């Protein structure tokens, strides 16, 4: 059986970042396995209007900043170009169109079986990401509904929804932006919001709120959190009269304790206030013409877009990861120990204010240092 020193699974931002860190330190004895036919495949398939919600200076991968001419909030197309440039810069050449089927422990390290071959490895870095398998809830009466139900994973732009009524289920960042995109193109938009949400403006007085949050975090005794809450109350006003319930938990506390990202508002709230996006509570069921809320109200709808999140599903090919999965079923540590020694998990940390790319930047360097230390010892 063929043997590899380091195997990286996934050639998205996380997989490229760890490869870049290793290459930067002169370590090139690794392979990257990617099921898609290009690097950064998820970013290539995101919806058209997407931009990073975090500023570019804190969102690039290690050892190669975004180009200076890129805007503060980098577009989807620019991220794709950057990832391709990153791979070229560090001479990263993934094995494309090859799917990892299983990763299991053995006396010699890790046994890895792909769609093309089986081999062993000393170190395995799982970089398949948190957004792997769409969550598709099932409601009573759903089979009777005459319209189309799809997941936001497959949403690209408003064109297929023009002159129709559309229900977006879920108001996380994707749901809020999809609803905004549709409403800006005069689609009749409805959004179902099941739980209380945390709202944060992306910018305040022309300044990125991410920068303001870093300043407020330095204020002691929780005063920064309190001040941030007062600013948001003034900025958004009373949104509960429009059907939105605001979480009592501070956004940074919520992120740190639950991994649930605050909704970074790009204008959705304003269109809700103007009546261009109608807010509804949780969906109870469907009938032939549309959705029925928990309050019993029927909403005639032509199409439904589920912004209901994803499963990381690492356990589907690596059963031993079960022991470190957190309450969101994602790996709870970047560096495995015990039965998971020499296994590493990158791109799963949703608990930092800097966003997933910020976590990848930090954790990829941490993992690379650990691997290099073991190799050199």
Distance CA 31, CA 119 (A): 12
Distance CA 260, CA 350 (A): 7
Are 307 and 168 spatial neighbours (Cβ–Cβ below 8 Å)?
yes
Are 17 and 62 spatial neighbours (Cβ–Cβ below 8 Å)?
yes
pLDDT at 221: 59
Distance CA 39, CA 370 (A): 25
Closest CA to 357 of 28, 36, 40, 35: 40
Closest CA to 268 of 165, 199, 213: 199
Are 127 and 148 spatial neighbours (Cβ–Cβ below 8 Å)?
no
Phi first, then psi: give them for residue 301, nearest 5 degrees.
Answer: -140, 135
Tokens of 206: 């022309």
pLDDT at 226: 60
At the fourth CATH level, the homologous superfamily of domain 2-132+312-376 is FAD/NAD(P)-binding domain (3.50.50.60)
pLDDT at 350: 73
Question: What are the b/e assignments for 4-27, b being 16+ CB within 10 Å?
Answer: bebbbbbbbbbbbbbbbbbbebeb
pLDDT at 249: 74
* 142: Cβ contacts below 8 Å, ≥ 6 apart: 149, 285, 286
Gyration radius (Cα) of the chain, Å: 22
Q: 267 vs 73, 152, 361, CA distance in Å? A: 15, 19, 29
* 302: Cβ contacts below 8 Å, ≥ 6 apart: 147, 148, 161, 164, 165, 166
The residue behind tokens 């290459």 is 23
pLDDT at 259: 67
Q: 214 vs 53, 64, 250, CA distance in Å? A: 15, 23, 15
Tell the burial category of 373 from Cβ atoms under 10 Å away from its Cβ (0-12, 13-18, 19+): exposed
Residue 97: CB atoms within 10 A of its CB come to 13
Tokens of 45: 């398939």
pLDDT at 228: 65
Closest CA to 5 of 134, 125, 168, 174: 125
Paired strand residues for 33 = 9, 95
pLDDT at 308: 96
Which one-letter DSSP state was computed for residue 322? G
Tell the burial category of 121 from Cβ atoms under 10 Å away from its Cβ (0-12, 13-18, 19+): buried
Number of residues written out for the chain: 377
* Domains 2-132+312-376 and 135-306 are alike in CATH topology: yes
Residue range 135-306 in CATH 3.20.20.70: no
Domain boundaries, the chain: 2-132+312-376, 135-306
**H-type alpha helices, the chain:** 13-24, 41-45, 76-89, 173-183, 209-216, 223-236, 251-258, 268-273, 355-376
pLDDT at 31: 97
The two beta strands, 118-126 and 2-9, are parallel
- Of the chain, the end-to-end C-alpha distance in Å amounts to 25
Mean pLDDT per 10-residue segment, the chain (377 residues): 94 98 96 97 96 94 98 97 98 98 93 96 97 95 97 98 98 96 98 92 85 67 64 84 86 70 92 97 97 96 97 96 92 94 93 80 97 91
Q: Output the pTM of the full model.
A: 0.93
């Amino acid at each position: 059986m063929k043997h590899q020193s380091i195997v990286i699974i996934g050639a998205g931002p996380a997989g490229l970042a760890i490869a870049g860190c290793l290459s930067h330190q002169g370590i090139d004895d690794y392979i990257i396995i990617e099921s898609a036919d290009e690097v950064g495949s998820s970013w290539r398939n995101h919806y058209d209007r997407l931009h990073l919600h975090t500023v570019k200076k804190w969102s690039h991968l290690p050892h190669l900043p975004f180009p200076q001419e890129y805007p503060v909030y980098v577009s989807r197309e620019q991220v794709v170009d950057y990832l391709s440039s990153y791979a070229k810069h560090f001479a990263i050449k993934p094995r494309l169109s090859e799917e990892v089927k299983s990763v299991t422990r053995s006396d010699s390290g890790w046994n890895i079986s792909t769609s093309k071959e089986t081999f062993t490895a000393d170190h395995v870095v799982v970089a398949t990401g948190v957004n792997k398998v769409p969550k598709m809830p099932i409601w009573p009466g759903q089979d009777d509904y005459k319209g189309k139900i799809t997941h936001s994973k497959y949403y690209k732009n408003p064109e297929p929804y023009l002159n129709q009524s559309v229900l977006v289920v879920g108001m996380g960042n994707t749901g809020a932006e999809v609803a905004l995109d549709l409403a800006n193109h005069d689609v009749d938009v409805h959004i179902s919001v099941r739980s209380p949400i945390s709202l944060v403006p992306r910018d305040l007085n022309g300044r990125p709120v991410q920068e303001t949050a870093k300043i407020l975090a330095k204020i002691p005794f929780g005063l920064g959190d309190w001040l941030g809450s007062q600013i948001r109350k003034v900025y958004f006003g009373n949104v509960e009269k429009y059907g939105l319930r605001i979480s009592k938990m501070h956004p940074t506390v919520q992120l740190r304790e639950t991994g649930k990202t605050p909704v970074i508002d790009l204008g959705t709230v304003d269109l809700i206030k103007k009546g261009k996006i109608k807010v509804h509570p949780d969906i109870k069921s469907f009938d032939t013409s549309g959705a029925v809320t928990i309050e019993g109200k029927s909403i005639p709808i032509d199409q439904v877009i589920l912004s209901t999140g994803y499963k990381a599903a690492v356990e589907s090919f690596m059963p031993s990861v079960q022991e470190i999965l957190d309450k969101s079923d994602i790996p709870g540590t970047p560096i495995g120990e015990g039965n998971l020694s020499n296994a590493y998990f990158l791109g799963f940390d949703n608990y930092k204010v800097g966003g997933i790319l910020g976590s990848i930047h930090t954790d990829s360097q941490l993992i690379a240092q650990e691997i290099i230390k073991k190799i050199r010892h």
